[in-house]
Structure 1
Amino acid sequence: MPEQNSLVDIGYGSVIRVGRGATPEWTQLMGLETVTVPSQPPEDVDVTHQQSPGRTRETKPGMKPVADYALEMQYWPGSDTDVLLTELDELTVQGNREIVLLEITPNGGATWTFQAYLNEYIPSSPLGEKQMVTANWKVMARVFEEVTP
């Protein structure tokens, strides 16, 4: 009997890009170890009152929090990825953080685009292992393209 294909895929081929400017100039982040999509569920707001049914707490969806989004990647000093993230990190340190577009496309999946800023860019210096860096982002809002008829 032939083997069944489960239709499950691997993450190889996933892409994360950073877009800067009004007409974004895109830089693909290289050396990523894991690609996920940020999670921003709305925080529940307690709206319980003395007439809540069955003495049960009631909640309504509130505002979405700014999501923390950490990207672990291999560190290549002087690469396009390193130059971009170093520039964005220096702006944040100076108190002038730049809002960019963070575009995430899992292999074979739909593209997700967010407004975000780089909060921190921290290289590590292990002895005897590959050098890694963490880019910590603050993700503010998902961006949806307008479709015009």
Structure 2
Amino acid sequence: MAVANAIIGYGTTFAFGDGADPEVFTVLAEVTDITAPSDSVDIIEATHMSSPDRTKEFVAGLNDPGECSFDIHFIPGAGDDTVIQALRNAGTKNNYQITWPNGRTWTFAAILTGYAPTAPVNDRMTATVTFKVTSSYVDAAGV
């Protein structure tokens, strides 16, 4: 019987870069769920008047690195809230990094596009932070 190799997400971190060279990444505290960049490839129709069997033809187009998001405990005015608001207000492309529990990292450029706090009456306050990824991610082994 094969042994499962599955791992849980506990210990995964999300960090933002400082733009320096070498770049230093600062981990955000109390992140609860991360959705990594969601790649998709555009499909371009390439049908022509002599396409075989009167069937549409397609070719691969450009890769769209999609979006990335995470949920975080929302504490108005706290350190992470201040950082996220500053990134949102700057409207600039920055580097971000996800570090997985096995030490591998995905580093990518993105623009913060959404910051949506929620305040339920009888549960913890959270916020969803969303980014439009603007580059392929670099997959690297942990240090």
Task: Report the TM-score when normalising by structure 2.
Answer: 0.83
CA positional deviation for 1:106: 2.2
Q: Is the 8 A contact 1:75 1:133 kept in 2?
A: yes
In structure 2, the gaps of 5 or more residues are none
1:22 aligned residue: 20
**2:116 counterpart of 1:122:** yes
User: Aligned match of 1:135 in 123, 129, 142?
Assistant: 129
Percentage of identical aligned residues: 28
Q: SS at the partner of 2:53? A: helix
Q: Distance in 2 between matches of 1:80 and 1:66?
A: 29
Which of 87, 101, 105 in structure 2 is aligned with 1:111? 105
Q: TM-score w.r.t. structure 1 length?
A: 0.80
Q: Deviations over 1:99-122 (max 9, x none)?
A: 111111222163111110111212
| Aligned positions, number | 138
Higher strand share: 2
Residue 128 and residue 36 in structure 1: after superposition, are their counterparts in 2 closer, same or farther (change >3 A)?
Answer: same
Q: CA RMSD in A?
A: 2.3
- Partner Cα separation in structure 2 for residue 32 and residue 56 of structure 1: 48
Whether the aligned pair in 2 keeps the contact of 1:102 and 1:113 (CA below 8 Å) is yes
Aligned equivalent of 1:94 = none
Amino acid at match of 2:46: V
2:27 and 2:70 map into 1 onto residues whose CA distance is 13
Give, in whole Å, the separation in 2 of the partners of 1:69 and 1:59: 28
1:8 alignment counterpart: 6
Alpha-carbon separation, structure 2, partners of 1:31 and 1:25: 19
Q: Deviations over 1:38-66 (max 9, x none)?
A: 11222111111122222222111112335
Structure 1's 70 and 35: CA in aligned 2 closer, same or farther, altered over 3 A? closer
